[in-house]
Amino acid sequence: MKIAIGADHAGFEYKELLKKHLEKNGHEIKDFGTNATQSVDYPDFAHPVASAVEKKEFELGVLICGSANGVAITANKRQGIRAAICWMEEIASLARQHNNANIVCIPARFVSIDLAEKITDKFLSTPFEGGRHETRVNKISC
């Protein structure tokens, strides 16, 4: 699967570890930054990831920041994006199954890297159920 990934300074270390984990599992990854732990503005990385997913250049996206709120809010400004903050595997599964989320947002300051890997794996491997959920998802865009 082709995955777009990005993070701010608070998510940088998790991004680097998640990249390795995903590549080891056969995914093709494009890193949209940041590339250090120096303070940066999360929209500078969330917008390019969201844009690439919206344009279907990548199947899904992963965004990481301290709380996941900043990157999720930013990504969700795009019409074709459904970015979900996920702090446990079940939330990631439901975000895909029921909401057809296309970007998972990880709160690095609130989950372990082991859990972040599990959340990301669950998100990437769970299909959208469609059906009654598709009707609802189709009502999201303005």
Catalytic residues: 65, 98
Distance separating the N- and C-terminal Cα atoms of the chain: 29
* Assigned token pair, 7: 């993070």
DSSP secondary structure letter of residue 27: -
Q: What is the C-alpha to C-alpha distance for residues 137 and 130, in angstroms, rounded to an integer?
A: 9
Q: What is the C-alpha to C-alpha distance for residues 92 and 103, in angstroms, rounded to an integer?
A: 10
Peptide bond into 120 cis (omega under 30): no
SS3 103: strand
Indicate if the alpha-carbon torsion angle 28, 33, 38, 39 is positive or negative: negative
